[in-house]
Copies of this chain bind each other. A is one copy, B any other.
Amino acid sequence: MQSFTEENYLKVIYHLAEKTETVQTNAIAEQIQTKPASVTDMIKKLADKGLVDYIKYQGVSLTDKGRSAAIDIVRKHRLWEVFLVDKLNFKWDEVHDVAEELEHIKSVDLIERLDEFLGFPKSDPHGDPIPDKHGRFAKTQFIKLIDLKVGDSGTITGVSQHSSAFLKHLEKLGLTLGKQIQITDVTDFDGSVEILSSEKQINISREVAKHILISSNGKI
């Protein structure tokens, strides 16, 4: 059984490991909002418990045991987010912080029943996949909107940024999950992207386009 704090470390390492094989001390420190010295201490502890592989100065990676624990926390986080949005009418930009607390509630029974109550959802309000009770989930094939070419079209199926500011902005533009979009132009001047969505022309910055995930249906 892991402590609240250990669970947060495991989850952060898990997410960082999606980008780089081996995870750096400083990167963890930034995510956890703590100092690198504290991270080193905790890494040693996690290594002693067999949750991470660790070589001094070489970074850290999850063991199978550690990954499985991390996925379990991610599962809880995303199920609670679905609960908050589907049942309690929270907006998709309001759920992250509360889920951050709820994910640490310790009860296998609770999460199984919650899963059932929600109808075994496959993805959370941000389009992220929800692992099943065995930790299995389909690795979804996303393309960043920024990487599409003029003429390409697809459906918004995820976001890679969960900040309230970003999500509220998308909401205002009408760019929510499931929306069909087509790239109509890319501005030479600032690289901003013109898209057609719900029969309206919208201009979004490169920064925004980077964090919108599309399941492409190729050119039309």
Of residues 77 to 94 in A, which have CB atoms within 8 Å of B's CB atoms? Answer: 84, 87-90, 94
Contact status B98-A105, CB under 8 Å: yes
Interface residue tally for chain A (C-beta within 8 Å) = 18
A107–B113 touching, CB < 8 Å? no
Q: Which residues of B contact A109 (CB under 8 A)?
A: 90, 94, 98
Q: Are A98 and B117 in touch, CB under 8 angstroms?
A: no
Interface of chain A residues 34 through 86 with chain B (CB within 8 A): 84
Number of copies: 2
Give the residues in chain B near A105, CB-CB below 8 Å: 98, 101-102
* A177 at the B interface (CB under 8 A): no
A15 CB, min distance to chain B CBs, angstroms: 22
Give Cα A117 to B87, complex, Å.
7
Complex interface: chain B residues within 8 A of A113 (CB)? 88-90
A106 proximal to B (CB < 8 A): yes
Question: In the complex, A94 Cα to B102 Cα: how many Å?
Answer: 19
A114 within 8 Å of B by Cβ?
A: yes
Contact call A101/B106, Cβ cutoff below 8 A: yes
A110 lies within 8 A of chain B by Cβ: yes
- Shortest C-beta distance, A80 to chain B (Å), equals 10
Quick one: which of B88, B94, B97, B106 contacts A114, CB cutoff 8 A?
A: B88
Which 5 pairs across A and B sit closest by C-beta, in order of nearness?
Answer: A88-B113, A98-B107, A101-B105, A98-B110, A88-B117
Excluding A88-B110, A88-B113, A102-B105, 16 further A-B contacts by CB distance (< 8 Å) are A84-B110, A87-B117, A88-B114, A88-B117, A89-B113, A90-B113, A94-B109, A97-B107, A98-B105, A98-B107, A98-B109, A98-B110, A101-B105, A101-B106, A101-B107, A102-B102
Residues of A within 8 A of B (CB): 84, 87-90, 94, 97-98, 101-102, 105-107, 109-110, 113-114, 117
A-B contact pairs, 6 of them (CB 8 A): A88-B117, A89-B113, A98-B107, A101-B106, A101-B107, A102-B105
